[in-house]
Amino acid sequence: MNFKVIDNGVTAPKGFRANGWRKGKYGVGIVYSEKNCTGAGTFTTNKVVAHPVVISKEVLKKNRDRLRCIVVNSGNANCFTKNGYEDGKRMISKTAELLNIPEDSILIASTGVIGRKMPMDIILSGIEETCRRLKRESSNHNFALSILTTDRFPKTLALEFEVEGKKVRIGGTAKGAGMIAPNMLHATMLSFITTDIKIDPEELSVVLQDAVDETFNNTVVDGDTSTNDTVFILANGESGVRYEECPDLFKEALHYLCRELAKMIVMDGEGSTRMMEVVVKGCASKEDAIKASKSVVRSLLVKTALYGGDPNWGRIAAAVGYSGAEMDMRVMDIAISDYRREVYLVKDGDPVDEEGEELKMAREIMKGKKVKIIVDLKMGMYENTSYGCDLGHDYVTLNSKYTT
């Protein structure tokens, strides 16, 4: 890699601070820049849309180069609720007052239960406490903890590279474990990214969308599209390096950051025990490759086979077959790997011997925590990689009691 992994997530880039507060199931987190930022965002395309998404779209439409802050709450999605828009604006107003910054410089996000009115006394109190903490110290760890819901662990990463002796940093923190699906044009969970590179908002929007399309939008936990999905990026220019000086390097680092955060999300899928990386190659078009790889990671039969450690290649083949991708079952290959060993389950359209050594090795591979599935359709030159997890008993248990 042309960059290195460093600590401190969203607080790693120069000029950014963050902190968070949590009490029971509710939390508040704030990311703050000491100087004005350019910013960009991608959002869910679910037609049932949360009020914070509506508000943040309005902010970005009016102001993309004087942004200062992101405020996010957990425990309540502020979606499909009476007066939810006004509640979101109250969150922004309180944050602006306490940090002495303009209201139109603040982006907002929420995550949690849909259809329940925001407990504004708790949330506003959380904003007050978070702002007090923010003024005392900066803590990416507290921020990462404050935004979790059913997540089992915080998801955070930061990278650093040099351009003519100057350091450029990108940091990210994400949350997500359920309601993760790729059937949208934009993001699939909550993710907050900061960088100290100098870049205009139009370019920032393009590079963010490209990164999201290749990473978060190739991620599936349960096939449900959330009402609140958001990815924000803020760039304050404090490194002294312009994007034009290192476009390829910056895009490479941003893609890596988003990909690793996406992997953390599927590894933390609600009730999950195993992660799968699905590579579908040899496709007639990029669209076909995307369809086929997403079809496999979305398949309930593939996900349950993964949970049981069953190398059921027939389920993989079937998922590719109904994806709509151009294919010929008589020539395709299917293989699985644990990133050390690779074994074919289907070669040139012929399945392996049911009593052979290949199937024995496949069973061993399927018992691992990470499984790579490789499908070669031999129809062209395009490929795509998607990420998913298994589906087991704990997913049903967790989601059957979500609001109780």
Both structure tokens of 118: 């925001």
Both structure tokens of 117: 């009115």
- Kind and range of the H or E element at 136? helix 120-136
Q: Among the options 44, 95, 130, 188, which is catalytic?
A: 188
Q: Output DSSP code: residue 226.
A: P
pLDDT in tens, 235-273: 999 999 999 999 999 999 999 999 999 888 887 765 578
pLDDT for position 60? 97
Q: Is the pLDDT of residue 224 over 70?
A: no
Amino acid at 27: G
How far apart are alpha carbons 316 and 306 in whole angstroms? 11
Q: Is 188 a catalytic residue?
A: yes
What the chain holds in terms of domains, given with CATH numbers, is 7-267 (3.60.70.12), 275-400 (3.10.20.340)
Q: How many contiguous H segments (helices) and E segments (strands) does the chain have?
A: 11, 16
Angle between helices 313-321 and 300-307 (to 10 degrees): 160
Contact (CB, 8 A) for 231 and 187: yes
pLDDT in tens, 314-372: 999 999 999 999 999 999 999 999 999 999 999 999 998 877 889 899 999 999 999 99
Q: How confident is the model at residue 81 (pLDDT cuts 50, 70, 90)?
A: very high
Contact (CB, 8 A) for 387 and 381: no
Contact (CB, 8 A) for 60 and 202: no
